[in-house]
């Protein structure tokens, strides 16, 4: 089963993304590595795969908990080399890109993405999880997973794709697929203790 990792990245040159929300993002220069703030971590430990989540914390404006998150789409070949499209993931709640889930069993999405989504939320507030978005309404939460929202294009693209060089990113950290599941279990245990 797919176990997506959650990668937290930042832009080396500040935050040039706000005016580019409506264009396709392409992560290019995949043969290069992002820089890191932690000298103990080598960037050779950075590995990106289709289905992973990429979060740019500086993009959080308060509009929604998922505005800073992107899904890593299927690798594509451009004239300049390979690239990963970074696909929108919703704003106030997760939306799944059709390009990513068209080849997946929709009934497995909860098993695959519940823990990574919760890991993203817990970076914003340690006791926050996806059920909180649904005001702890179990029926609404189950409906979300039974009939997941699919991100649809809302009109024409806002221009040419934005190519983001991996070498122009700062790698903050990665929560490996298994680690995000462990983090979710620990947060659930903390909630039970309350």
The full DSSP string for 71-138 is EE---EEETTEEEEEEEE--SSS--EEHHHHTTS-GGGHHHHHHHHHHHHHHHHSTT--HHHHTTT-H
User: Nearest CA to 93 among 174, 16, 148?
Assistant: 148
Task: Answer for the pair 170, 55: CB distance below 8 angstroms, yes or no.
Answer: no
Q: Give the mean pLDDT of the chain.
A: 83
Reported as a single tens digit per residue, the pLDDT across 113-168 is 999 999 999 998 888 899 998 888 899 999 999 999 988 655 445 678 889 999 99
Instruction: Give the pairing type, strands 25-28 and 81-88.
Output: antiparallel
Q: Residue 61's pLDDT is what?
A: 83
Q: Is 33 exposed, middle or buried (0-12, 13-18, 19+ CB in 10 A)?
A: middle
Q: Is 166 exposed, middle or buried (0-12, 13-18, 19+ CB in 10 A)?
A: buried
Q: Residue 125's pLDDT is what?
A: 86
What average pLDDT does the segment 29-51 reach?
A: 79
Least confident stretch, 34-43, 50-59, 112-121, 183-192:
183-192
pLDDT of 85 > 70? The answer is yes
Write down the pTM of the prediction. 0.85
Give strand pairing partners of 185: none
Q: What percent of the chain has pLDDT over 70?
A: 81
Least confident stretch, 58-62, 124-128, 166-170, 185-189:
185-189
User: Nearest CA to 120 among 108, 138, 132?
Assistant: 132
In sequence order, the 6+-apart residues with CB closer than 8 A to the CB of 69 are: 53, 54, 55, 89, 90, 94, 120
């Amino acid at each position: 089963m797919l176990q997506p990792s959650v990668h937290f990245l930042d832009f080396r040159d500040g935050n040039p993304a706000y005016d580019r929300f409506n264009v396709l993002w392409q992560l290019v220069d995949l043969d290069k590595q992002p820089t890191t703030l932690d000298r103990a971590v080598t960037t050779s430990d950075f590995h990106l795969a289709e289905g992973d989540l990429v979060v740019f914390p500086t993009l959080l404006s308060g509009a929604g908990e998922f505005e800073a998150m992107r899904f890593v789409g299927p690798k594509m070949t451009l004239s300049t080399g390979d690239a990963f499209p970074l696909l929108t993931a919703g704003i106030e709640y997760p939306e799944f890109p059709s390009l990513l889930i068209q080849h997946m069993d929709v009934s497995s999405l909860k098993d695959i993405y519940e823990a990574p989504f919760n890991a993203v939320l817990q970076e914003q507030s340690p006791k926050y999880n996806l059920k909180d978005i649904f005001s702890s309404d179990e029926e609404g939460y189950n409906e979300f997973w039974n009939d997941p929202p699919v991100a649809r294009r809302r009109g024409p693209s806002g221009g040419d794709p934005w190519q983001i060089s991996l070498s122009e990113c700062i790698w903050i950290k990665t929560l490996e697929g298994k680690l995000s599941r462990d983090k979710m279990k620990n947060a659930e245990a903390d909630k039970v203790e309350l």
